Amino acid sequence: MLKELLCLSNYQAGKLALGKRAMDEKYFPEVIEKKWQQRWAEGQAFEAGNDDTRPKFYSLEMLPYPSGFLHMGHVRNYSIGDALAWYKRLQGFNVLHPIGWDSFGQPAEQAAIKRGVNPRAWTEENIAHMRGQLKRLGISYDWSREIAAHRPDYYKWDQWFFLKMFERGLAYKKQSPVNWCPKEGTVLSNEQSSGGICWRCGTAVEKRNVEQWFLRITEYAEQLVGQIEQIESSWPEKVLKRQRDWVGRSEGAYIDFSVKDSDKKIRVFTTRIDTIFGATAVVLAPDHPLIVELMKDSALMNDVQKFAEKVAVARARPADATAEEVKEGLNTGVLAINPFSGENIPVWVANYVLMDYGTGAVMSVPAHDQRDFEFAQKYSLPIRQVIAPASHGQPSAEPVSVTGTDQSAEMHQAFTDYGVLINSGEWGGKLSEVAIREMTLFAEKHKFGGGAVTYRLRDWGVSRQRFWGAPVPIINCDDCGAVAVPYDDLPVMLPENAEFTGTGQSPLAGVPEFVNTTCPKCNGPARRDTDTMDTFVDSSWYFFRYTDPRNADAPFDPAVAAQWTPVDQYVGGDSHAVMHLIYTRFWTKFMRDIGLVSFDEPVKRLLTQGMVTNIVEGTDEWKAMSKSLGNGVDPDEMIRAFGADATRLFILFAAPVENELRWIETGIEGGVRFLRKVYSMVWRWHERLSDLSQRHDEPAPDEIGPAGQALRRKTHQTIARVTSDFEHLHLNTSVSALMELFNELNEFDVTPTNASAADVFVVREALESLTVMLAPFSPHVAEELWEQLGHAGGLIPKVGESARWPKVNQQHARKAELEIPVQVNGKLRSR
RNA sequence: GCGAAAGUGGCGGAAUUGGCAGACGCGCCAGACUUAGGAUCUGGUACCGAAAGGUGUGGGGGUUCGAGUCCCCCCUUUCGCACCA
């Protein structure tokens, strides 16, 4: 499969056959890459200084899980982030480009259960291997800031944050139905079970009633929607849309329906108060707590309870994504009073009303809500039309007169648009928009309702019945309840001697030395909480830790973090659009509220890169590379065969960063070809160019021949193009621009031996520009060429050195003559 | 079903604001050098046509001197959401 282009063997074979000089002229990525990786390490080339006064740039890629092996998705992710880091460095920015490990989580524990290995050892081994891979790729990380979530000096701060939230009532424990993945044997958050399937393994989730810790993300629902405007222009629209949908802000009103012959009230939420005259029932969720009180003495109580149980059982079953549940319900015999019309209407329970949205109760308006319509048809509830279509959407000042009282017989579906109110007493004739406003005020004035906003977002369940995570720092005392572990006692360390049985109980529960402790409040015997935290807690704030990674007294020094954050450019897959990316926004807002940061949004600009796909053997389908499909490509194999530079160049060239990238091995060979050609061109010229003391001043325009002028023009056009492409993250076209510049150089009809001083100047300008602009894509070979061109000390400007990135001279970039196409009747006539 | 985005050669994709469609690369074809080529170099490569010329950016209509780009209708694909009151 893999074509035998192996550089190492070529190099060794070549060394035997050719002399040293002949070898130098050939491009051997293996040799160049080793050389520069070593120099970068020795010179600490990528370490970001906190006391550097140049403008900062924080380039960040999403924290990887240390599965043991880098896959091509990682390579793409880091190649993009690294290109931007290099681009900014070459422009003279002080760049922070860190890496770390999301090293808590299921796979380590699975390995422990299945193969009896120690999760810590397993994780550390994986990290060591992947670190080696990243270094072979030559990604320019500041390794001195590396962090790993599973180390006590990191998870201590997870626990610290948890306690800060606990103190403020933002972390709380409650018994609640949660998403349970039967395959993973653990609870999942709503975000991790979107669509009813486990985000990790794709198994359909069940509902289970478990006592859980929750973080009150709903407290920030309004900000999570409202503050989107701060990042609207620099985050992908699709991510923001998903976040908006996920928070699900909905404006409407609540209304209290009095219960006949009772002092109880049923509160409903509606976005269509204008349809209230058409309400022909009030419908409660089967598990609505009011039911028990309302039906204390009712003969129907038993039936309703049975119905509720049936629904609960159905809901606990793994969701079948395609099947829409059939609407079912039961009349409770209780009557409610419509506060607008005074009418008595029946109270039902039904499976299509959800307890955990709004108030768990709705007013049923069959004529104007499709669900209510279907329900009413099934149970023969009256369907009463109260909204008429407004013609052309024009406000009609005249009340609409309606003849005939029962148009509902003709309705085949609910009319859900806004319109004009009819059959609505004093509100008749008003437009929906107006009626909604006025009726809400009316309800408020008469104290039976008012404006309300509800959210779909639920609190974040962070308890996991797992070992390999940060222990929840809480001690349960029979007398004092849940008590915070004192800050001085952090971290609550994971024990070394847990047993992994895979039973779904936290392995921590089986370690008496861990569990048994004393209550910090009363000193009585007490038990530690045995849940650990969702690993998404670790990744919610990790990039702040990079700014101050060894701080032993705080998660980070706010003053240091303020130098670097917010993140200027974040790069990652869009699979985290409503998981990590919403959690980290929440976390940042919390950190702001406790004075750690001074802004609302952690990430200025987000890029969601596309997947890397490969053809699945035996099919014609392109799918994301994966072990199970057997279509994975090993980055190390690519590095060995083609070099890291060519691999990275190809990945960035092959497709726009946000598109799917189809892996074509011949494409990567094209990358090698290009680098080899550039390399040998620099070699051809380097004797004329490398002596910088012989460098010429800029020649007068008339000293440069027409071919030189053209090359110069191309050089400056390329600088303009590549620079603008970087600003817009169009990395694929900037590579093609570099190739065009090379092609122009290749056609430049001057040889090193016959070149005039002016020619040499033009060639130097072109080659130096090409070399510098190549560095973000293929940094090793760029460094090598820069050295060949006579420069010592490496490409990255030190403090005090001027920026390396070439500057465009618009004068030179301008076309010498303008060709004007002639069109007659839209047809091209001559050129 | 609802919502959003996108349809350009054999393929990945170019085409700042409406102004020479197909840059750049892959693949393919031909030639050169070679014992050899899956190396390298040179040239060609949207379609029809011998040529002149014509036709072309999912389909149909429109605006315009001029449309891949703007407007309307339709088709297809991909991705989200899926009882959220």
Direct distance between the N- and C-terminal alpha carbons of chain A, in angstroms, rounded to an integer = 48
pLDDT of amino acid A706: 87
> Is 60 exceeded by the pLDDT of residue A716?
yes
Chain A 437-466, CB < 7 Å to strand B: 454, 456
Strand A420-421 and strand A449-454: pairing? unpaired
Whether A506 sits with its Cβ under 7 A from any strand B atom: the answer reads no
Which tokens in the block code for residue A810? 């618009």
> How would residue A399 be classed by pLDDT, with cut points 50, 70 and 90?
very low
As a whole number, mean pLDDT of residues A626-638 equals 88
> Is 90 exceeded by the pLDDT of residue A334?
yes
Q: Identify the residue whose tokens are 């309702």.
A: A449
Nucleotide nearest to A253 (CA to C1'): B85
As a whole number, mean pLDDT of residues A811-816 equals 74
As a whole number, mean pLDDT of residues A157-174 equals 97
Per residue in A442-477, pLDDT tens? 999 999 999 999 999 999 999 998 899 999 999 999
Find the Å distance, CA of residue A247 to C1' of nucleotide B81.
13
pLDDT of amino acid A22: 60
pLDDT of amino acid A11: 57
Whether A417 sits with its Cβ under 7 A from any strand B atom: the answer reads no
> Is 90 exceeded by the pLDDT of residue A390?
no
* Chain B bases closer than 7 A to any CB of the protein: 4-5, 11-16, 19-21, 23-27, 38-42, 54, 65-67, 79-85
pLDDT of amino acid A18: 54
Per residue in A780-793, pLDDT tens? 999 999 999 999 99
The CA distance from A744 to A712, in Å, is 10
Q: Identify the residue whose tokens are 């009609």.
A: A396
Nucleotide nearest to A455 (CA to C1'): B84
Whether A810 sits with its Cβ under 7 A from any strand B atom: the answer reads no
pLDDT of amino acid A383: 92
Chain A 230-289, CB < 7 Å to strand B: 237-238, 241-242, 245, 248, 250, 252, 269-272, 285
What's the CA angle centered on A801, arms A800 and A804, to 5 degrees? 145
Nucleotide nearest to A375 (CA to C1'): B83
The neighbour count for residue A474, using CB atoms within 10 Å, is 23
Find the Å distance, CA of residue A468 to C1' of nucleotide B68.
54
Nucleotide nearest to A322 (CA to C1'): B82
pLDDT of amino acid A574: 84
Per residue in A178-235, pLDDT tens? 788 877 777 888 888 877 778 777 787 887 778 889 999 999 999 999 999 999 889 9
pLDDT of amino acid A1: 32
The neighbour count for residue A741, using CB atoms within 10 Å, is 25
Chain A 172-211, CB < 7 Å to strand B: 194-195
Nucleotide nearest to A246 (CA to C1'): B81
The CA distance from A587 to A545, in Å, is 13
Whether A80 sits with its Cβ under 7 A from any strand B atom: the answer reads no
pLDDT of amino acid A15: 53
% of chain A surpassing 70 pLDDT: 91
The rounded mean pLDDT for chain A is 88
The CA distance from A538 to A583, in Å, is 10
As a whole number, mean pLDDT of residues A392-396 equals 44
pLDDT of amino acid A2: 37
As a whole number, mean pLDDT of residues A367-380 equals 91
Q: Report which listed range, A239-248, A558-567, A615-624, is most confident.
A: A558-567
Per residue in A524-544, pLDDT tens? 999 999 999 999 999 999 999
Find the Å distance, CA of residue A751 to C1' of nucleotide B43.
22
Chain A 337-396, CB < 7 Å to strand B: 351-355, 357-360, 362-363, 369, 371
The CA distance from A398 to A693, in Å, is 90
> How would residue A829 be classed by pLDDT, with cut points 50, 70 and 90?
low
Whether A654 sits with its Cβ under 7 A from any strand B atom: the answer reads yes
Backbone dihedral angles phi then psi of residue A125, each to the nearest 5 degrees: -65, -45
As a whole number, mean pLDDT of residues A368-373 equals 91
> Is 90 exceeded by the pLDDT of residue A811?
no
Find the Å distance, CA of residue A664 to C1' of nucleotide B10.
15
Whether A673 sits with its Cβ under 7 A from any strand B atom: the answer reads yes
- The full 3-state SS of A363-424, as one line of letters, equals EECCCCCHHHHHHHHHHCCCCCCCEECCHHHCCCCCCCCCCCCCCHHHCCCCCCCCCEECCC
Find the Å distance, CA of residue A29 to C1' of nucleotide B33.
26
> How would residue A741 be classed by pLDDT, with cut points 50, 70 and 90?
very high
Whether A631 sits with its Cβ under 7 A from any strand B atom: the answer reads no
% of chain A surpassing 90 pLDDT: 67
Which uninterrupted H or E stretch holds A23? Answer: helix A20-24
Per residue in A246-279, pLDDT tens? 999 999 999 999 999 999 999 999 999 999 999 9
pLDDT of amino acid A718: 96
pLDDT of amino acid A425: 92
Whether A826 sits with its Cβ under 7 A from any strand B atom: the answer reads yes
Which tokens in the block code for residue A662? 């189809």
pLDDT of amino acid A819: 54
> How would residue A67 be classed by pLDDT, with cut points 50, 70 and 90?
very high
The mean-pLDDT minimum among A166-180, A186-200, A357-371, A814-828 falls in A814-828
Per residue in A743-783, pLDDT tens? 999 988 888 888 889 999 999 999 999 999 999 999 999 99
Who has greater pLDDT, A185 or A516? A516
Residue closest to A473 by CA, chosen among A456, A453, A455, A493: A493
- Beta carbons within 8 Å of A781's beta carbon, 6+ residues apart: A27, A29, A32, A645, A675, A678, A679, A774
> Is 90 exceeded by the pLDDT of residue A644?
yes
As a whole number, mean pLDDT of residues A604-610 equals 93
Residue closest to A644 by CA, chosen among A675, A679, A600: A675
Q: Identify the residue whose tokens are 């209780």.
A: A334
The neighbour count for residue A607, using CB atoms within 10 Å, is 20
pTM: 0.92
Residue closest to A678 by CA, chosen among A732, A752, A744: A744
Find the Å distance, CA of residue A642 to C1' of nucleotide B26.
16
Contact (CB, 8 A) for A544 and A561? yes
Q: Identify the residue whose tokens are 């100047």.
A: A761
> Is 50 exceeded by the pLDDT of residue A417?
yes
Per residue in A98-129, pLDDT tens? 999 999 998 998 888 888 899 999 999 999 99
DSSP A728-761: TT-HHHHHHHHHHHHHHHHH----TTT--HHHHH
As a whole number, mean pLDDT of residues A654-662 equals 92
The CA distance from A83 to A805, in Å, is 13
> Is 50 exceeded by the pLDDT of residue A735?
yes
Q: Report long-range pairs for A690-693 (Cβ below 8 Å, ≥24 apart).
A: A690/A788, A690/A789, A690/A790, A691/A790, A692/A790, A692/A791
Per residue in A552-591, pLDDT tens? 999 999 999 999 999 999 999 888 888 999 999 999 999 9
Question: How big is chain A, counted in residues?
Answer: 831
The CA distance from A609 to A510, in Å, is 43
Contact (CB, 8 A) for A763 and A755? yes
Give CA A313 to chain center in angstroms. Answer: 34
What's the CA angle centered on A757, arms A754 and A759, to 5 degrees? 70
As a whole number, mean pLDDT of residues A35-42 equals 97
Give all strands of the β-sheet with A569-573 in edge-to-edge order. A94-96, A56-61, A569-573, A606-609
Which uninterrupted H or E stretch holds A614? Answer: strand A612-615
Contact (CB, 8 A) for A701 and A762? no
Whether A573 sits with its Cβ under 7 A from any strand B atom: the answer reads no
pLDDT of amino acid A400: 40
pLDDT of amino acid A825: 54
Contact (CB, 8 A) for A145 and A477? no
